Amino acid sequence: MTAPAQPALLVLEDGRTFHGEAYGAAGETFGEAVFNTGMTGYQETLTDPSYHRQVVVMTAPHVGNTGMNDEDPESKRIWVAGYVVRDPARVPSNWRSQRSLDDELRAQGVVGISGIDTRALTRHLRESGAMRVGISTVETDPAKLLEKVKASAEMTGANLSEAVSTSETYVVEAQGEKRFTVAALDLGIKDMTPYRMSERGIEVHVLPATASIDDVLAVQPDGLFFSNGPGDPAATTGQVELLQEALGRDLPYFGICFGNQLFGRALGFGTYKLKYGHRGINQPVMDLTTRKVEVTAHNHGFAVDAPRDTATETPYGVATVSHVCLNDDVVEGLELRDGSGALKSFSVQYHPEAAAGPHDAAYLFDRFVQLLEEKA
């Protein structure tokens, strides 16, 4: 006999209400409701710091089947503010599983809800756009929960990277012979990213989000990297100025996701909020130089506003859009070249570290190494 399920309530900012069952920790939570279409990789999703303050709805109908292990997390904790699933696995089954997802959510105090028609919820978010949401196992009155949702923090204008960043610098050593040193600003970095660099002979110094240009130069870097991270790129100023100083000193730069948005801002472009964002592991992106299409992992709710077909003169060189998403033509990559056409810096909006996701975009780490080689 299993204990009767505890009811839980989900209320969206526009009043749409779903009734489900408590999943993970009991309690109440608020955040921006977003959906992720990945059929695998829930452990990487949960521990991706970019999901800070977001309630993630999984479109995969059955979640938790392979349990949780100590190898796959992308950071030290679960960052999602809440978790919405349709049908959780009652018994995880995988040779690597160490505990159940339900137990892990509970141990980390993450409030979730199950038994939700996640298809209906996702269609609603697609039609009406990402919005605030509340989940509660204690409030039974939707109107009262709605009031709290409306009083909760918005994602637009939120500056969150410092809240998730490391407080101390740490070093990820190069595997094999050390070839280069890179200063990586942790705006919410996923562990796989420095790992992908270390595999290529890069010693990665992961710096706090508050690092100054002097902190960056102190590690005598061959290149600079800005990671993914939560929040609104338009609400970030210090890191944009840091990047501009580095570009002014001709330091080669590579950025991923938030690092692409801040690169865009450093080059003078704006950013804007997408209606419901891209979150999943099968998003088609075209490299506009080679016209090759790659299938990629995404997690972004904002994007860079830059012209597709014309180059833009900036104080640091000539900037162009290098990649676009084939679903909606959103900018997925930027390049900066000097007057002779040589690559100086670049960034992508998607996730070449691919945790979780396909490895089509791994070449971008090789491109960074090539850039460091050319500069050496």
Ligand X SMILES: NC(=O)CC[C@H](N)C(=O)O
254 is in an annotated binding site: no
If the CB atoms of residues 24 and 230 are measured against ligand X, the closer one turns out to be: 230
Tell me how far apart the alpha carbons of residues 357 and 355 are, in angstroms, rounded to a whole number.
5
Minimum Å gap between C-beta 192 and ligand X is 13
Positions marked active-site: 257, 351, 353
The verdict on whether residue 282 carries a ligand-binding annotation is no
Residue corresponding to tokens 């209400």: 17
Is 258 marked as binding a ligand? yes
Nearer to ligand X, 165 or 228 (CB): 228
82-84 and 202-207 beta bridge pairing: unpaired
Q: At what angle do helices 258-266 and 238-248 cross, to 10 degrees?
A: 70
For the CB of residue 299, give the shortest distance to ligand X in the complex, in Å.
4
Taking the least distance from each CB to ligand X, the nearer of 54 and 66 is 54
- The one-letter code for the residue type at 122 is T
Q: Which is nearer to ligand X, 23 or 302 (CB)?
A: 302
- Least distance CB 234 / ligand X (angstroms): 10
C-alpha closest to that of 233 among 197, 277, 195 = 277
Sole residue written with tokens 């240009």 = 213
Spatial distance between the Cα atoms of 8 and 116, rounded to a whole number of angstroms:
10
161 is in an annotated binding site: no
Q: Which is nearer to ligand X, 38 or 230 (CB)?
A: 230
Angle at 12 between CA 8 and CA 16, to 5 degrees: 90
Half-sphere exposure of 105 (CA within 13 A, CB side): 28
Backbone angle region of 162, left / alpha / beta, with phi > 0 → left and psi within -120 to 50 → alpha: alpha
* Cβ-count burial 213-224 (b if 16+ within 10 Å, e if not): bebbeebebbbb
We find the least distance from the C-beta atom of residue 302 to ligand X, in angstroms, to be: 4
Residue 165 CB: number of other CB atoms within 10 A?
21
**Was 228 annotated as part of a binding site?**
no
Kindly state the smallest distance separating residue 69's Cβ from ligand X, in Å: 23
Separation of alpha carbons 345 and 255, rounded Å: 9
* Shortest separation between residue 260's beta carbon and ligand X, angstroms: 8
36 marked ligand binding residue: no
**Is 302 annotated for ligand binding?**
yes
Residues binding ligand X (CB under 6 A): 50, 228-231, 257-258, 299-302
Q: Burial, 91: exposed, middle or buried (Cβ in 10 Å; 0-12, 13-18, 19+)? A: exposed
Residue 152 exposed, middle or buried by CB count within 10 Å (0-12, 13-18, 19+): middle
Q: Which is nearer to ligand X, 146 or 281 (CB)?
A: 281
- Annotated binding-site residue numbers: 50, 229, 231, 258, 261, 299, 301-302
- Annotated binding-site residue numbers for L-glutamine: 50, 229, 231, 258, 261, 299, 301-302
